[in-house]
Amino acid sequence: MEESRQQAEEVWNKAKEALLKSEKHRIYQDYISSLKADALLENRLILFAPTELVRSKIEHDLDLQIKEALREASGKELEYLLSVSRDSSAKQGAGVRDQLTHLDPQARFDNFVSGTATAFAHAAAVSVSENPGEGYNPLFIYGNSGLGKTHLLNAIGNEVVSSQPEKKVYYVTSEEFTNEFIESVKENRGLAFNRKYRSFDVLLIDDIQFLAAGNRVETQESFFNTFNALYGERKQVVVTSDVPPRQLGGMKERMITRFEQGLTVDVQPPEKETRVAILRMKAAQSRLKIDIPDSVIDFIADQVTDNIRELEGALLRVIALTNLNHQSATVSLAGQALQDYFTGEVQVGPREIIAAVASYFRLAPADLLSSKRVKEVASARQIAMYICREMTGLPLANIGQAFGGRDHTTVIHACQKISEEMTEKRMVYDQVSAITVRLRRQI
- Domain final position from 266, 290, 319: 266
Does 183 reside within a domain?
yes
For residue 271, give every residue at least 6 positions away whose Cβ sits within 8 Å of its Cβ, in sequence order, or none: 115, 116, 117
- pLDDT of 96: 58
CB-based contact 324:288 (threshold 8 Å): no
Q: What is the pLDDT of residues 179-208, one digit of tens each?
A: 888 888 888 888 888 999 999 999 999 989
Within this chain, do residues 207 and 231 fall inside the same structural domain, yes or no? yes
The domain that holds 367 is classified in CATH as 1.10.1750.10
More confident call, 340 vs 50: 50
Residue 374 CB coordination number (10 Å): 8
Angle at Cα 139 formed by Cα 137 and Cα 141, nearest 5°? 170
Within this chain, do residues 210 and 178 fall inside the same structural domain, yes or no? yes
Within this chain, do residues 328 and 189 fall inside the same structural domain, yes or no? no
Does 96 reside within a domain?
no
3-state secondary structure of 170: strand
Within this chain, do residues 303 and 287 fall inside the same structural domain, yes or no? yes
Q: What is the average per-residue pLDDT within 16-38?
A: 78
For residue 397, give the nearest of 439, 364, 350, 440 by alpha carbon: 350
Within this chain, do residues 154 and 119 fall inside the same structural domain, yes or no? yes
Q: What is the average per-residue pLDDT within 11-35?
A: 79
Work out the burial of residue 235: count CB atoms within 10 Å of its CB; fewer than 13 is exposed, 13-18 middle, 19 or more buried. buried
Within this chain, do residues 299 and 240 fall inside the same structural domain, yes or no? no
Q: What is the pLDDT of residues 221-248, one digit of tens each?
A: 888 999 999 999 999 999 999 899 998 8
Within this chain, do residues 127 and 257 fall inside the same structural domain, yes or no? yes
pLDDT surpasses 90 at 341: no
- Domain final position from 38, 53, 88: 88
In whole angstroms, what is the distance from residue 60 CA to residue 441 CA?
A: 56
The domain that holds 300 is classified in CATH as 1.10.8
Within this chain, do residues 260 and 280 fall inside the same structural domain, yes or no? no
pTM, 2 dp: 0.69
Angle at Cα 107 formed by Cα 255 and Cα 170, nearest 5°? 45
**pLDDT band, residue 25 (cuts 50/70/90):** low
Does 104 reside within a domain?
no
Within this chain, do residues 124 and 249 fall inside the same structural domain, yes or no? yes
Number of domains present in the structure of the chain: 4
Within this chain, do residues 127 and 228 fall inside the same structural domain, yes or no? yes
CB-based contact 279:315 (threshold 8 Å): yes
**pLDDT band, residue 398 (cuts 50/70/90):** confident
- Domain final position from 337, 369, 393: 337
In whole angstroms, what is the distance from residue 148 CA to residue 282 CA?
A: 14
Within this chain, do residues 255 and 279 fall inside the same structural domain, yes or no? no
CB-based contact 121:152 (threshold 8 Å): yes
Within this chain, do residues 203 and 289 fall inside the same structural domain, yes or no? no
Does 39 reside within a domain?
yes
Chain CA centroid to CA 148, Å: 12
Measured over the CA atoms of residue 107, residue 109, residue 111 and residue 116, the dihedral's sign is positive
Q: What is the pLDDT of residues 78-97, one digit of tens each?
A: 888 877 664 544 344 444 56
3-state secondary structure of 35: coil
| Residue numbers of the domain that contains 246 | 109-266
